[in-house]
Structure 1
Amino acid sequence: MHIPYKKTAFFVIIISTIFRLFWASQLEFGNDEVYYWLYAKYPDLSHFDHPSMVGFFIQFFTANLYFDSELAIRLAAILPTSIAMYVVFLIGRYLKNDFVGLLSVLLYNISIYGLIISGTFILPDAPMVLFWLLAFYFLIQVVPYQPKKENLLKLFLGFLCIGLAIYSKYQAIYLLLGVGLYVLFFNRKWLLKWQFYVAFIFPFVAVGLIVYWNYQNDFISYKFHNERVSFFNLKFRQASFLREIVGQIIYNNPYIFVTIILMIVAFIKKNFFFDKKIVRFFLLFSIPLMATTIYLSLSRDTLPHWSSVSYLTLLPLLAVYISTNKNIRRNLIIGCAFLMILLSGVALEINNGWVLPVQITETKEILGRKDALMDLYGWQQASKKVTKVLQAHNLTNLPIISDQWYPAAHIDYYIAKPNNMLVYGVGALTKIHKYYWINSQNRALTNHKVLYITDSRNFRNPAKVYSKKYNQFKLIETIPILRNKETVKYVFIYLLIRD
């Protein structure tokens, strides 16, 4: 019986999209997500932390924030990821056949990074992954082969997508590195074609926009990221290294991680027979970023998702490697179904707390601090309860200040926005990030009375933080946030007064 692999791939993508829509509708914003909502609310050529594409995606998919909910904003990740899944199908089909394309899609859906981190949560990774995979799809059809006139359109489209990927997240610069390394070592004939150099206009424009914004802002992004990713700090940090390795294994799925290693070893030992120029192309577009993040983790804290797009890049080649296993399709389908059901259960558990243990502490100011999942819960409840308190005390006319971008962004979205209030970042630039620029777009902060709102996961005593700016600190209300009838954190409302 012939199995329509292309239709099956479409079916998997549709089911995946439905599940991701469900998760997006159930979970509140995490710290990073709600921060990137600010990119859409206050658009700019670039931003302190990342380039602008994620903000533009949010504007596009929400009709410039006309539809302003967690689900609507996360559409900017969910729908592009569905397209990205189809792109890996196309890459797999290009490599061999529709069956390999289907396996590529199934592998994508067992990746925590591909399915959730970049596929559901609204982060710069969402647009970056889409444009990265599109760039790879176009370039793999062109760069490994002899330069031909009929392939120039794909070359230009590939470089256009590189530019868009770079304008999404800085890691995409490794796409240019991949092209450069392949051409330099394996196909120098492209160096004789003037069209090859013209194609670089697209990424140069993206880099130019980022550099121009930084030129206007004292190159602040580069100073910030240089502190995070310095290549020359030789002090070994075992904890960060182990966290990076374990994180890469978990984020990308242990099955994918181990099988990629086995595939590379098989290729080196000549037990995996496939077109060498294609395998080299895959490896040059993936291994350098993986190696860089591991190297950086030797001396400083890194985040596992920094290199995860490289794992997604390898999925079609991995699909070729495992395609001879007769049971692999059934096992991957079972794996996808299990992961989707498991993550749906996790989403429901975050909101209901049926199984998670409740942290017990007599100190209200630290309740929930050790529960990372609390980033995704409690702010909708806080919004209603805080609004009642502010209206009862006639305080909605005052601005809110915060000394860090989190929980400032949560407060901005869930509390300030419904009440038409302004949030100001009052603190060091390295702590308030985007709020440094938001402050200048809002009216000047001259109020003698302001509100300071925080929660027990991020509590800092305002009397210590703002002792030089204000001299009275009145606790207006301490609000319990409940889950399954248990208090899981507190929200604190302070009135700060300067005589």
Structure 2
Amino acid sequence: MPCYVDTLSMYKKQLFYLVLIAGIVRLLAAGMLELGNDEVYYYTYALHLQSNYFDHPPGVAWLIKLFTLNLRLPQEVFIRLGSVVFATVGTYISFALGKRIKNEQTGWYAALLYNASIYCGVIAGTFILPDSPQVLFWLAGLYYMVTAVQYATENKKIPPAIWLAIGILNGLCIMCKVHGVFLWGGFGLYVLFCNRRLLANPWLYVAALLTAVIISPIITWNIQNHFVTWNYHSNRVEVKQFALDADGFIQTILGQLFYNNPLNVVAIVIALVVLKKKVTLAKEVKQLLLLCGLPIIIITTLVSLFKSVLPHWSGPGFLTLLFVAAAWLDDKKAQEPVASGRTPWLIKSSLILIAVVMLGGIAFIRLLPGTIGSKEEAQYGEDDFTLDLYGWRQFGADFIPWYQQQVQAGAFKADTKIVCDKWFPAAHLDYYAARTLHIPVVGVGELNDLHHYVWLNEQRPTLQPNENALCIVPSNYPLQPDKIYENSFTGARLLHTFTQTRMGQTSRYFRVYLLTGFKGQESTPLNIQ
């Protein structure tokens, strides 16, 4: 039998220091790094709240709106603050869920593994993405589903409050990201294959109905907008021909390993193997965790055999299986001759790895001389992922006074708009340049390229016939304005080239063009073929 040291009181103190240190590190990272492509794009969500957006439900927009005090605090650290706060709460829920499925030490290990996960601690816990609020509601929903299963296993009546919590939290999870349906899916599979008696409980259907009511704005919005979200995401995952994509599959596997921390994944795999040989968790809890965690991982991986996917899609599945790993690590510790409160070496190594990744990543992005991308002048910096998180502040600081000088010199009018044909780099230009100048960035192009900018166009001053506009071309996203906009403008003329440096070496160029004589329509109608 294990002999735990100081039990819960010790873990509460350790938990406090864990969230304090992790929170400080995340806050520092949130303030030091510029917003990435996706993050500045989600910032545009918060400019005009909607019940759904082209790419995702509105959860991330609410989060940004809340923690920036209705955009009164638009700095990067406040835009990301919701992620950091939610990751702190997620740590506490991880502890509580681990404690519920086994004991306090399992909860402590779960909290450590949660913070060691690059997906939970960095992607969703530092950057601002739809995953940031989704992870919190996924964890909270899972907690109450485990609680319901435990009540049912003990032949106790499940309190209505637990069913209501499941319905609300699962609904909010889906309102952050549609992947949240896998949480209900896992619970449904458990009910169908492991405990059909729950089908006779009317509160199960009340919970499901409550979720349906909460997510109804997503459905209503899509009906009003020709199901653009459904069409967009179905095109991303629908396999139309079975031609194996070996490179995409390998990238997905490696991405899943990295995002979820390779050592965490090792712990999960060992725990799953051990589950077949011995009991480390109550049977019903084990079944629920597997049915909620494995499907999203399996489906993401299978789709990657034929289509390009993003490895972090399966993040909630790996998060769910971390509790299986935590239970195994607790069992392993209990088998030692003298049990102690010392952290297993696997978790220590995992925490060290994420610390190295965070500190090394920040240093690499900020201190890398020049660029790791193309050195050809026309596309200088292309394929350099670090430039998504670096140099936009510098460009804004250079462009804003130049714009004002050009207006004073009569080169163009004070309200001259910026146009872009894709959501990136449109969102970066929006946040780091146009926002300060109080000029709009207008999307001119196709719906599948512009995404939310089609809706932003409706909120902003429109381009008038024969109006001139500016086009800013970062060399790492090269294009030829005279060809790209030949159907929208009569001409394009280079006005200025900004040379951007990092650690004293050229990293990329920003070329500013004057587009003359707007011909008409800004973006395509709301229709995806």
Question: What is the TM-score of this pair, normalised by structure 2?
Answer: 0.90
Q: Percent identity?
A: 34
Give the superposition deviation at 1:271.
Answer: 3.1
State which of 292, 308, 323 in structure 2 corresponds to 1:316: 323
| Displacement of 1:299 | 0.6
Q: Distance in 2 between matches of 1:360 and 1:193?
A: 62
Please tell me the residue identity of whatever aligns with 1:387.
I
Find the aligned partners of 1:134 and 1:301 in 2 and give their Cα distance: 30
Does 1:294 pair with 2:312? no
Partner of 2:187 in structure 1? 179
2:418–2:442 contact (8 Å) kept in structure 1:
yes
Is 1:74 paired with 2:72? Answer: no
Q: For the residues of structure 1 that align with 2:516 and 2:469, how far apart are their CA atoms?
A: 7
Question: What secondary structure is seen at the aligned counterpart in 1 of 2:477?
Answer: coil
Q: Which residue of 2 aligns with 1:340?
A: 355
Give the match's secondary structure for 2:500: strand
Bigger Cα displacement from structure 2, 136-145 vs 484-493 = 136-145
1:62 maps to 2:77: no
User: How many Å separate the matches in 1 of 2:273 and 2:227?
Assistant: 42
1:264-289 Cα offsets, whole Å, 9 max, x none, are 12222x23443111110100000010
Cross-structure match for 2:91: 85
Q: Partner of 2:139 in structure 1?
A: 133
* Counterpart Cα distance in 1 of 2:299 and 2:89: 28
How well do the aligned residues superpose, as a CA RMSD in angstroms? 1.8
- Does the Cα contact within 8 Å between 1:26 and 1:348 map onto a contact in 2? no
Which of the residues 145, 148, 160 maps onto 1:142? Answer: 148
- Offset of 1:335 from its aligned partner? 3.7
1:357–1:491 CA distance, 2 compared to 1 (3 A): closer
Question: 2:54 matched to which residue of 1?
Answer: 48
Report how far residue 345 of structure 1 moved: 3.5
Give the aligned residue type for 1:432. Answer: L
User: What corresponds to 2:500 in structure 1?
Assistant: 481
CA distance, structure 2, for counterparts of residue 68 and residue 176 of structure 1: 35
Offset from partner CA, 1:132-159 (integer Å, 9 cap, x none): 0000001101035427545221121022
Q: Distance in 1 between matches of 2:473 and 2:214?
A: 37
- Mapped to 2, the partners of 1:192 and 1:331 lie a distance apart of 43
Q: Cα offset for 1:359?
A: 4.9
Secondary structure, aligned partner of 1:494: strand
Alignment of 1:447-486 (within 5 A): 448-486=467-505
Deviation at 1:341, TM superposition (A): 4.8
Distance 1:457 1:309 in 2: 32
Q: Kindly indicate whether residue 427 of structure 2 is the aligned counterpart of residue 415 of structure 1.
A: no
Listed one character per residue, the Cα deviations across residues 412-437 of structure 1 (whole Å, up to 9, x for unaligned) are 00010000010111000000000001
Q: Residue deviations 1:433-472, cap 9 Å, x none?
A: 0000111111221152100012011121100101122222
Q: Which runs of 5+ in 2 are unaligned?
A: 337-341, 519-529
1: CA distance, partners of 2:327 / 2:157: 29
Say whether 1:261 aligns with 2:269.
yes
Aligned partner letter, 2:89 = I
Q: How far off is 1:330 after superposition?
A: 5.2
Shift of 1:322: 1.2
Q: Are 1:376 and 2:389 an aligned pair?
A: yes
Q: Distance in 2 between matches of 1:235 and 1:398?
A: 48
The one-letter code matched in structure 1 to 2:509 is Y
- How far apart in 2 are the matches of 1:102 and 1:295? 33
Of residues 343, 353, 365, the one that matches 2:368 is 353
Structure 2 residue matching 1:46: 3-state secondary structure: coil
Contact map agreement 2:58 2:176 (CA 8 A) in 1 = yes
Task: Output one character per residue of 1:19-75: Cα deviation in whole Å (capped at 9) or x when no partner.
Answer: 000100100000000000011112101000000010011111111111101100001
Structure 1 residues 221-260: aligned runs within 5 Å: 221-231=229-239, 233-260=241-268
1:114 and 2:133 matched: no
Cα–Cα, structure 1 residues 224 and 150, in superposed 2: closer, same or farther, change >3 Å?
Answer: closer
Once superposed, which parts of structure 1, at least 4 consecutive aligned residues long, lie more than 6 Å away? none
Deviations 1:207-236 (A, max 9, x none): 311110011101111111111011554221
Q: Aligned partner of 2:6: which letter?
A: H
Letter in 2 for 1:74: R
Which shifted more, 56-65 or 316-325? 316-325
Q: Matched residues in 1 for 2:227 and 2:350: separation? A: 45
Secondary structure of the structure 2 residue equivalent to 1:126: helix
Paired letter, 2:107: G
Query: What SS does structure 1 have at the residue aligned with 2:266?
Result: helix
Task: Summarize the Cα distance change of 1:46–1:461 in structure 2 as closer, same or farther, 3 Å threshold.
Answer: same
> 2:149–2:284: 8 Å Cα contact kept in structure 1?
no
SS of residue in 2 equivalent to 1:495: strand
Aligned partner of 1:241: which letter? F
Secondary structure of the 1:89 match is helix
Q: State whether residues 371 and 381 of structure 2, in contact with CA within 8 Å, keep that contact through their aligned partners in structure 1.
A: no
Alignment of 1:418-433 (within 5 A): 418-433=436-451
On the 8 A contact 2:151/2:158 being kept in 1, the answer is no
In the aligned structure 2, how far is the partner of 1:245 from the partner of 1:438?
A: 36
Distance 1:463 1:436, change over 3 A: same
Q: 2: distance between equivalents of 1:338 and 1:240?
A: 25
- Equivalent-residue separation in structure 1 for 2:473 and 2:371 (angstroms): 23
8 Å Cα contact 1:482/1:488 also seen in 2: yes
Task: Look up the SS of the partner of 2:116 in the other structure.
Answer: coil
Distance in 2 (alpha carbons) for counterparts of 1:420 and 1:195:
51
Aligned residues: 496
Deviation string for 1:117-146 (max 9, x for gaps)?
Answer: 011000000010000000000110103542
